[in-house]
């Protein structure tokens, strides 16, 4: 699944190869991917415009234009962005043009495509981003503590809430929590300030590693998220469960759900 590092690669691809090119035509005929727009509405807004900037917050991307309308793009569960044959997005999917869901054609003959086998990606005009929390790669340690370190929700649910922190998906959450040696089931407000800080730094390290190595799937614990898997650090069996409706894996020894030293009763993290 594309997560923040994969989406950032897709944004960077658009920035490197698609900006400044005039749009000659748009295929927005897939009414599910382009909902709520009827066929032709996105095309009418974008044809003749040039893309001027490619931006991202969390897993949401958008492209600004010189005529005003903003094109929002989301990769969904397995989508890719393809520009003139170069692609970025889900690193595991090998997709042909059969799965092209939304296409921008440029006057010079090139194309920008949202390619998505599962049809869960989105192309939309003027996306709403105000409800998203700060980007996970840019949030400060202080703001992270203020947003994450309180409440009774399981910690994994808290950090995956896009209104709290934008960009943390299922694999990234498991990787960061494993690196921090914190249970995904622990109530967010039960963590001590040092534990919340440790999670913040683990998340930043996981993001940096994923961006350097080609995606979240390259994380240290990801290959152990399977039946019979063992913790790469201590060798204890990995445990599987469901947290917040998402399949979750954790080390049975180092991430056991227990009151850690320095933890406190549920409440707001001090800053």
Over residues 231-252, the pLDDT tens digits come to 999 999 999 999 999 999 999 9
Q: What residues contact 271, with CB distance under 8 A and at least 6 apart?
A: 142, 145, 146, 193
H-assigned helices in 27-112: 41-46
pLDDT at 257: 83
Token representation of residue 134: 């700060």
- Please report the pLDDT score of residue 268 as a whole number: 36
Question: What is the pLDDT, as a whole number, of residue 197?
Answer: 95
Catalytic annotation, pick one of 3, 8, 87, 105? 3
Name the DSSP class of 50: B
Residue 87, pLDDT score: 86
Indicate if 92 belongs to the active site.
Answer: no
Contact 166, 135 (CB under 8 A): yes
| Average pLDDT over all residues of the chain | 90
Q: Find, among 110, 65, 73, the residue nearest to 89 by Cα.
A: 73
Does the bond joining 36 to the residue before it have cis omega, within 30 degrees of 0?
yes
| 94: confidence class by pLDDT, cuts 50, 70, 90 | low
What is the predicted pLDDT for the residue at 95? 65
Per the structure block, which two tokens stand in for 90? 């889900």
* 131 pLDDT more than 60: yes
pLDDT category at 1 given cuts 50, 70, 90 is: low
Decide if pLDDT at 97 tops 80: no
Q: Decide which of 192 and 92 is more confident.
A: 192
Q: How many CB atoms lie within 10 A of CB 35?
A: 11
pLDDT at 254: 95
**Choice among 50, 55, 119, 246 that is catalytic:** 246
The Cα angle at residue 109 between residues 31 and 27, in degrees rounded to 5: 5
Out of 17, 21, 59, 145, pick the active-site residue: 59
Q: Is-catalytic flag, 38? A: no
pLDDT of residue 264: 44
**Structural domains for the chain:** 4-125 (3.20.190.10), 141-251 (1.10.8.50)
Return d(Cα 257, Cα 248) in angstroms, integer. 14
- Dist CA 81 CA 101 (whole Å): 11
Please say if the pLDDT value at position 174 is more than 80. yes
Q: Any catalytic annotation for residue 59?
A: yes
- Catalytic: 3? yes
Which residue among 2, 127, 154, 184 is the active-site one?
2
């Amino acid at each position: 699944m594309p997560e923040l590092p994969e989406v950032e690669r897709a944004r960077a691809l658009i920035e490197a190869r698609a900006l400044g090119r005039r749009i000659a035509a748009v295929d927005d005929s897939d009414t599910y991917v382009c909902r709520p727009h009827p066929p032709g509405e996105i095309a009418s807004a974008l044809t003749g415009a040039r893309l001027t900037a490619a931006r991202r917050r969390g897993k949401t991307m958008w492209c600004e234009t010189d005529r005003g309308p903003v094109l929002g793009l989301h990769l969904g569960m397995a989508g890719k962005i393809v520009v003139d044959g170069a692609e970025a997005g889900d690193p595991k999917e090998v997709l042909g043009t059969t799965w092209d869901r939304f296409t921008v054609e440029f006057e010079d003959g090139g194309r920008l495509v949202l390619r998505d086998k599962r049809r869960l990606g989105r192309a939309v005009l003027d996306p709403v981003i105000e409800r998203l929390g700060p980007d996970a790669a840019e949030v400060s340690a202080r703001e992270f503590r203020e947003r994450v370190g309180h409440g009774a929700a399981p910690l994994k649910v808290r950090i995956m809430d896009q209104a709290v922190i934008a960009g943390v998906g299922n694999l990234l959450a498991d990787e960061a929590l494993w690196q921090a040696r914190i249970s995904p089931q622990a109530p967010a407000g039960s963590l001590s300030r040092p534990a919340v800080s440790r999670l913040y730094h683990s998340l930043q390290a996981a993001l940096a590693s994923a961006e350097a190595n080609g995606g979240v799937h390259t994380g240290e614990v990801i290959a152990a998220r399977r039946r019979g898997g063992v913790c790469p650090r201590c060798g204890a069996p990995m445990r599987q469960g469901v947290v917040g409706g998402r399949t979750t894996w954790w080390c049975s020894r180092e991430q056991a759900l227990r009151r850690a030293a320095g933890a406190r009763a549920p409440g707001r993290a001090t800053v």
